[in-house]
Chains A and B, each alone.
Chain A
Amino acid sequence: MNDQNHENLKDLFERFFKPEQAEEAANDVHKADQIFREHPAPGPSDKLILDIKAEIAEALSCRKARLLRKSLYYKAAAVAAAVIVLAAISIRLFEKETTESKSPATTASMMPKTIWEDDTVTTYGGTSAIIAAEIEEIEGEILALQLGENGGNEHINMMELETKLTEINGDFWKG
C-alpha cells in the first residue's frame, strides 16, 4: 500500500504502532491525501510567477556584477601590492648605489686591506730616504763646483754629476 510519497505506510506504521493502529493510521494518511486533492489550494497567479522570475534575473545580474567588482578589486589590490614591492626594492637599491659612491669610508674599504697592512710601504719609504740622501749629496757637489771649490776640471765633474743624477732618477721610477 504505497502512498503519493512512494512509501509503504503500513510497514512504516507497523514499526511504531500495533498492527490495527498501523492500518488505521495508514488509512488516515490516504484519506487526508484525498481530502487535500479534493480541496486544492489556489495556485500562484501568472503575474506573480513572472514577477518572481524577473526578481531572480535581477538578483543574478546583481550577483554577477558584485562578483565582477570583487574580482576587479582583488586584481587592482594585487597590482598595487606588486608596484609597492617593486618601488620598495628600487628605492633600496638606489639608496645603496648613492651611499656607495659618496661615502669615503666605503671607497677606502674598496681598497684591499693588504695594501694598508703591507710592510713594503715602509720599505718603499726606506728606499726613498736613500735616494733623497744621494740627491742631497749630489746637490752639495754641484754647489761646490759652482763655487769653484773643486779646483780645475769643472766641465767633466759637472757631466759626471749629471749622469749620476739621471741614474738616480731612473732608479727612483723603477722603484
Chain B
Amino acid sequence: MAKSDDLAQIITNCKNDNAESFSQLVDIYARRCYGYFYRLTGNSVISDDLLSELFVKLVEKIGSYKGGSFEGWLFKIASNIFHDHLRSKQQEKKLLQTQENLFAAQLTKTKHSEGEQIDKLQMQIGRLDADTKELIILRFYSQLSFKEIAAIRSEPIGTTLSKLHRGLKQLRELME
C-alpha cells in the first residue's frame, strides 16, 4: 500500500489531470475494489464493468476529494456504484418478469459465465442478508476502521458493530 505522503502526492497530481498518477491509483486500488465488487456480485463480467465505472467516476470526482481517508472516499463511491447497479438490475428483472420472454433464462445463464467457479466463501456469503453481506465485504476489502465504515453507511458505530457481530457469527457457522 502506498505511504500516506506518497498517496497524498499522487492524489494532488491526479487533481492536476496527470494520467500517470491515475494509473498509479489504478495499480494500488484495482485489486481490492475488484474483490469488493466480485464478492458482492459473484460475477466477473459485472465486476469488470463496475470497476471500470469506478475509475471513470474517480476521474470525474477527484476534484471533490477534500482530504481525509481516501479509501473511505473511494469505497463510498464504489458502494454507490454497486447500489446503482442493484437498482438497475431490479428494474431489469421487473421488465423481464412482465415481458415473460426468453431472455430471463439467458440472463440467469450469464450470471456465472463460462468456466467460472463459485468458491465456498462466495456461496456461503450469498446466504447472508444483503446489508450484512455488504458490511462484511466492505470491511475486508476497504480495510477501513469501523468508525469510517459507520460513516460511509451513515449509521451509528454501535449499529455497525452489532450487525457485523451477528453476520460474522452466521458466516463462521456456515463456513464450518
Task: Give the B-binding residues of A (Cβ under 8 A).
Answer: 4-7, 12-13, 16-17, 21, 24-25, 28-29, 31-33, 35-36, 39-45, 48-49, 51-53, 55-57, 59-60, 63-64
Contacts and interface: CB of A to CB of B under 8 A. Distances in A.
Contacts of A28: 165, 168-169, 172
Interface string B138-160: 01100111100000000001100
In the A-B complex, list the 5 residue pairs whose CB atoms are closest, starting with the nearest: A39-B121, A41-B35, A28-B168, A44-B34, A25-B165
A36 B165 CA distance: 16
A71 B164 CA distance: 51
B130 interface: no
B119 interface: yes
Contacts of B39: 41
A65 B44 CA distance: 34
B38 A41 contact: yes
B96 interface: no
B16 to A, nearest CB: 10
Contact of A59 (B44, B59, B120, B162): B59
A5 B26 contact: no
Given A43-B34, A43-B35, A59 B56 contact: yes
Nearest to A36: B140
Interface of B: 17, 19, 22-23, 26-27, 30-31, 34-35, 38-39, 44, 47-48, 51-52, 55-56, 59-60, 119-122, 136, 139-140, 143-146, 157-158, 161-162, 164-165, 168-169, 171-172, 175
A33 B136 CA distance: 9
Contact of B146 (A12, A21, A41, A48): A12
B59 A44 contact: no
B34 A60 contact: no
Contact of A43 (B19, B31, B55, B140): B31
Contacts of A5: 139, 143-146
